[in-house]
Chains A and B, each alone.
Chain A
Amino acid sequence: MTGKTLYDKIWDAHLVDQAEDGTCLLYIDRHLVHEVTSPQAFEGLRMSGRKVHAPDKTIAVPDHNVPTTAGRENTANMTEESRIQVEALDKNARDFGIHYYPVTDIRQGIVHIVGPEQGWTLPGMTVVCGDSHTATHGAFGALAHGIGTSEVEHVLATQTLIQKKSKNMKVEITGQLPPGVTAKDITLSVIGQTGTAGGTGYVIEYCGEAIRALSMEGRMTVCNMAIEGGARAGLIAPDEKTFEYVKGRPHAPKGAQWEAALALWKTLYSDADAQWDKVVTIRGEDIAPVVTWGTSPEDVLPITGVVPDPADFAGGKVDAARRSLDYMGLKPGTPLRDIKVDAVFIGSCTNGRIEDLRAAAEILKGRKLAEGVRGMVVPGSGLVRAQAEEEGLDVIFRDAGFEWRLAGCSMCLGMNPDQLAPGERCAATSNRNFEGRMGRGGRTHLMSPVMAAAAAVTGHLTDIRDLM
């Protein structure tokens, strides 16, 4: 018998039922819920007289819609539609008796930052949420993926999901990353190589020396963008760093249960003779600080590059690249470093954790935002914000001219008032550079926190290595 991948192991451990045609019923250990993709699901439960099957495994937090400015605990300060959604979550959380972190709770934040922070996310679990960036939790060796609202309702009602198994893909990052290269550069570079559909039909396991060397925060950044590569989920096998991160968190096991959990978690790795359907290997030494130039996360190039010519692509990508450049207001051949920015956004479930803020602050220390550039820092959770303030990072950001906001998804998807104006160009640590994503007509360049900080200082896309 051949060995199993980490994905195979987690899958097998959660299989409730398997039909002859391969359709499976998979048990879900944690269900994270936010205000935007859940109202219709709770409404569905009410209409059919169903209950939440496992309220203790269900965690709700408002994040997409909430303002990141002071006074937001008063919902009268929200737009009418946002208020209705946030109040609906509040009511649903209380009516159905699920765990809940409202904006008045310091633990509130982006759902994918709150889950790991509170110890809800543990190795070997299945984790779902009505949000594609649920892949983030894969950093713990948990099988985690986004679902639609109908599936949210299905999980609420049954604590299971109807699934077909994906294929296994291994992405190995060997060796060591050069200075100035971060987890964000890894994950963007992988997408640049495989394309946004390269992972479709697969669960990716990231491995290799460069992945092992990453902190848990870095690993979350890598897995977060697995979805941008098309994969159902991204995974990293848990190790001592994982266990150290999890230990002592509010909902992590304690005492004898901790020991039992640890023993099981140590079996969570892909066997040496496991079968892979696809393997991608990238040398860590070959990864450079990267930025995106277009409107798809696969439009990635090292910062030393130039805006590409659409004619250099093939198939449907020729028109897509032309459309992207038109939208982005860029001309082929322009050095990426010459692209001026109007705004800098540091935050999101990709890069809104304490390590990200520390890295950006390190660059911004004693420096100022370039003339005419606006900057916004949105911590991923209330606890990240408090930690940053304890370390004095808020002072560095404020002194540099950044706005220091409250926790939420903010400008990453622009559902709250934090948006780009038409034509405004932003260096962003978020995950999507889609047309209109951060605001109608807004132009997004994705990059790491240190690269965003560098662009903030110079006023144009910048090679972080020039500031180191």
Chain B
Amino acid sequence: MEKFTKLTGIAAPLPLVNVDTDMIIPKQFLKTIKREGLGVNLFDEMRYDDNGNEKSDFVLNQPAYRTAEVLVAGDNFGCGSSREHAPWAIKDFGIRCIVAPGFADIFFNNCFKNGILPIVLPQDQVDILMKDAEKGANARMTVDLENQTITTSDGVEIAFDVDPFRKHCLIEGLDDIGLTMEKAPAIASFESRMAQERPWV
């Protein structure tokens, strides 16, 4: 997994609540058997018209935000389907960090598996970042995972929480299957106990 340590980049504002994974990556793009190449279809139905032309009013189509690396969003971001194609598309577009007042559970988990940092902040702090993001390309935000801070273009510093294990995995770029496999003896002993206690499983 790609490491996440510190990022300074353009933040795109998407002040919508309940952005679901069908919006992030519509179903027709789930037919791939690869993880890459979905960035062009990120937010497809919001981003392109029926003829496949870009809708100029959509934030990621605006010149200022075409290379955004941070997304500032509304509450309950990523609700709906478990499709990991959603974080794959976000990552493939180039966004590595999403800030919102809340995330849906499965999407939140999926982000960490893909080197994306989802940050939960109270609405008033998200509002500050949203305003900063609305300034466009000259307003670059810095997200520092090590120190757990976001710094706006005006130098306002906002602290955030992150699960220590997930932080460690992101900073080191760890593959958690490898980590779990180191616990093979514990898994084996659990299985032999279960074979006695719940043989029908």
Stretch of B3-11, B16-24, B138-146, B147-155 with 4 or more beta carbons under 8 angstroms from chain A: B16-24
| A-B interface pairs (CB < 8 A), number | 190
A404-444 interface with B by 8 A CB criterion: 413-415, 422, 432, 434-437, 440
Alpha-carbon gap, A434 to B78, bound state (A): 12
> How distant is the Cα of A190 from the Cα of B33 in the complex, in angstroms?
36
Check B33 against A432 for contact (C-beta < 8 Å).
Answer: no
Alpha-carbon distance between A255 and B45 when the two chains are bound, in angstroms: 55
Does A68 reach chain B (CB closer than 8 Å)? no
The interface-forming segment of A18-26, A330-338, A361-369, A450-458 is: A18-26
A85 to B177, CA, bound (A): 24
Residues of B within 8 A of A298 (CB): 18
> A82 vs B30: C-alpha distance in the bound complex, in angstroms?
10
Instruction: Say whether B187 contacts A148, CB under 8 Å.
Output: no
B190 engages A16 (CB within 8 Å): yes
Q: Are B74 and A316 touching (Cβ within 8 A)?
A: yes
Please tell me which stretch of A1-9, A32-40, A266-274, A279-287 contacts chain B, meaning at least 4 of its Cβ atoms lie within 8 angstroms of it: A32-40
B80 to chain A, nearest CB (A): 6
Q: How far is the CA of A26 from the CA of B144 in the complex (A)?
A: 31
Contact A150 B110 (CB under 8 A): yes
Task: Determine the residue in chain B with the shortest Cβ distance to A50.
Answer: B177
B106-A146 in contact (CB<8A): yes
Q: Is the CB of A413 within 8 A of B75?
A: no
B66 at the interface (CB under 8 A from A): no
**Would you call B26 and A436 a contact (CB within 8 A)?**
yes
In the complex, which residues of chain B have a beta carbon less than 8 angstroms from the beta carbon of A149?
Answer: 35, 84
| From B20, B31, B190, B200, contact of A85 by CB (8 A) | B31
Partner of A150, one of B18, B102, B114, B191: B114
Q: How far, in angstroms, from A160 to B121 measured CA to CA in the complex?
A: 30
1/0 per residue A29-60: CB within 8 Å of B? 10000001101100100001010010001000
B187 touches A158 (CB 8 A): yes
**Cβ-based interface call for B63 (8 A):** no
| A39 and B33 form a contact (CB under 8 A) | yes
Shortest Cβ distance from B48 into chain A, in angstroms?
A: 10
| Interface residues as binary, A71-87 with B (CB distance below 8 Å gives 1, 0 otherwise) | 00000000101101100
Q: A252: which B residues are within 8 A, CB to CB?
A: 200
Q: Does A212 contact B (CB under 8 A)?
A: no
- Given the interface pairs A25-B180, A260-B200, the reply to whether A40 lies near B31 with Cβ below 8 Å is no
**Contact (A261, B16) CB under 8 Å given A85-B31, A132-B106, A147-B82:** no
Tell me whether A317 and B17 are in contact in the complex, defined as CB-CB below 8 angstroms, given that A81-B32, A125-B201, A415-B28 are known contacts.
Answer: yes
Interface residues of B (CB under 8 A from A): 15-18, 20, 22-23, 26-28, 30-35, 45, 50, 74-76, 79-84, 87, 102-106, 109-110, 113-114, 123, 163-165, 176-177, 179-181, 183-184, 186-187, 190-191, 194, 198-201
User: A interface vs B, CB < 8 Å?
Assistant: 16-17, 19, 21, 23, 25, 27, 29, 36-37, 39-40, 43, 48, 50, 53, 57, 64-65, 79, 81-82, 84-85, 88, 122, 124-125, 130-132, 134, 145-151, 153-154, 157-160, 162, 164, 196-197, 200-201, 227, 230-232, 252-253, 257-258, 260-261, 264, 296, 298, 315-317, 319-320, 323, 413-415, 422, 432, 434-437, 440
A36-B31, A146-B82 given; name 7 further pairs at CB < 8 Å: A21-B165, A36-B83, A53-B187, A150-B84, A158-B184, A158-B187, A261-B200
Can you list 26 A-B contacts (CB < 8 A)?
A16-B183, A21-B164, A50-B177, A79-B31, A85-B33, A131-B81, A145-B106, A148-B110, A149-B84, A157-B177, A157-B181, A158-B184, A158-B187, A197-B104, A200-B103, A258-B200, A261-B198, A261-B200, A315-B17, A319-B15, A319-B17, A414-B27, A415-B30, A435-B23, A436-B26, A437-B22
The 5 A-B residue pairs with the shortest CB-CB distance in the complex, in nearest-first order: A253-B200, A150-B113, A81-B31, A316-B17, A148-B110
